[in-house]
């Protein structure tokens, strides 16, 4: 690959990162064609290793690792023998979409921003979803939940918190969210509310595996009572979900509780 083509890939990568879009770069670091690069974008692949079948194989693996937000080196069977390919993932910033401009959403927005999330607040009620009430939000969307989801790309590293506590908002938000690859979907409500919601989702034709994706009641059980405490419990559950944890006491490999200083 020429220096000009390599520069073009880096320029396009920089553009994607600035735009908050997902991207990955695959580079042959051992074997032929040494140093060649493939830029994998959300809807395009730039560059070539000189073999369309190998290009497709590498781009598919790059997308898989990008979904996992992982970078790694792999040995692969290239068109001219064994090669090593370095996959470098550039996922977009994690996003938190909050449905319902309620008091808990205000605290949740503030704390999520401190953790590096891009926060989007969605509510059709213009009197509640204002910049004055949500100064830390990156975006405030005055739309119904299903419309808001139809008009945006939801990445796998997105978390969705449904806080409106009103079926006419919650259920469109749930149905729309379950059609996305969002890593976390949580819905506010008591255990009875969530049991009733589960029945309505079943009646709407949602399969059991999809219903199991919904965390409800939302948040870890820490005895939260104030909006701020509830926001912390929700973020704790989101973090635990992203890290593959259950959110229980910290333990050692033997199962004993480990003290933290």
Torsion of CA 152, 235, 118, 154, to 10 degrees: -20
Q: Which residues of the chain have pLDDT under 50?
A: 259-261
- Considering the domain architecture, whether residues 20 and 86 belong to the same structural domain is answered as yes
State the pTM of this model: 0.77
> Is the domain of 124 the same as that of 194?
yes
Secondary structure element (H or E) that encloses residue 69, with its range: none
pLDDT value at residue 19: 86
* Residues 66 and 114 placed together within one structural domain of the fold: no
pLDDT at 67: 86
Q: What is the DSSP letter of 86?
A: E
Q: Are 42 and 141 found together in one domain?
A: no
- Sequence-distant (6+) residues with CB within 8 A of 18 are none
Domain termination residue (choose one: 47, 72, 90): 90
**According to the model, what pLDDT value does residue 25 have?**
97
User: Does 249 fall in a domain?
Assistant: no
Query: For the segment 3-48, what is each residue's pLDDT rounded down to a tens digit?
Result: 555 668 999 999 999 888 889 999 999 999 889 999 999 889 999 9
36 and 109 co-located in one domain: no
Number of structural domains the chain divides into = 2
Same domain, 103 and 69: no
pLDDT of res. 255: 53
pLDDT per position as a tens digit, 75-95: 999 888 899 999 999 998 899
Q: Which domain, by its residues, includes 55?
A: 3-90
Verify that 71 and 142 share a domain, yes or no.
no
Q: If we measure between CA atoms, which residue out of 80, 65, 91 comes closest to residue 28? A: 80
Do residue 177 and residue 157 come from a single domain? yes
Say yes or no: 131 and 198 in one domain: yes
């Amino acid at each position: 690959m020429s220096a000009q083509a390599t520069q073009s890939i880096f320029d396009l990568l920089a553009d994607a990162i600035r735009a908050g879009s997902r991207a990955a770069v695959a580079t042959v670091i051992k074997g032929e064609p040494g140093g060649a690069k493939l830029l994998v974008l959300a809807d395009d692949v730039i560059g070539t290793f000189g073999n369309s079948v190998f290009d497709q194989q590498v781009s598919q693996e790059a997308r898989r690792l990008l979904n996992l937000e992982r970078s790694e080196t792999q040995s692969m069977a290239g068109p001219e023998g064994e090669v090593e390919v370095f996959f470098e993932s550039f996922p977009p910033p994690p996003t938190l979409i909050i449905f319902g401009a309620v008091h808990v959403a205000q605290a949740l927005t503030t704390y999520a921003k401190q953790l590096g999330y891009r926060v989007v607040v969605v509510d059709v009620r213009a009197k509640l979803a204002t910049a004055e009430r949500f100064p830390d939000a990156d975006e405030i969307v005055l739309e119904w939940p299903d419309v808001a989801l139809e008009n945006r790309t939801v990445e796998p590293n997105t978390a969705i918190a449904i806080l409106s506590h009103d079926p006419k908002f919650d259920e469109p938000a749930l149905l729309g969210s379950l059609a996305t690859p969002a890593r976390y979907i949580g819905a506010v409500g008591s255990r009875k509310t969530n049991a009733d919601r589960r029945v309505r989702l079943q009646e709407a034709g949602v399969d059991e595996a999809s219903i199991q994706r919904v965390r409800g009641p939302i948040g870890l059980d820490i005895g939260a009572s104030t909006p701020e405490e509830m926001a912390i419990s929700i973020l704790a559950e989101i973090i635990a979900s992203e890290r593959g944890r259950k959110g229980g006491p910290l333990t050692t490999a033997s199962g004993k509780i480990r003290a933290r200083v």
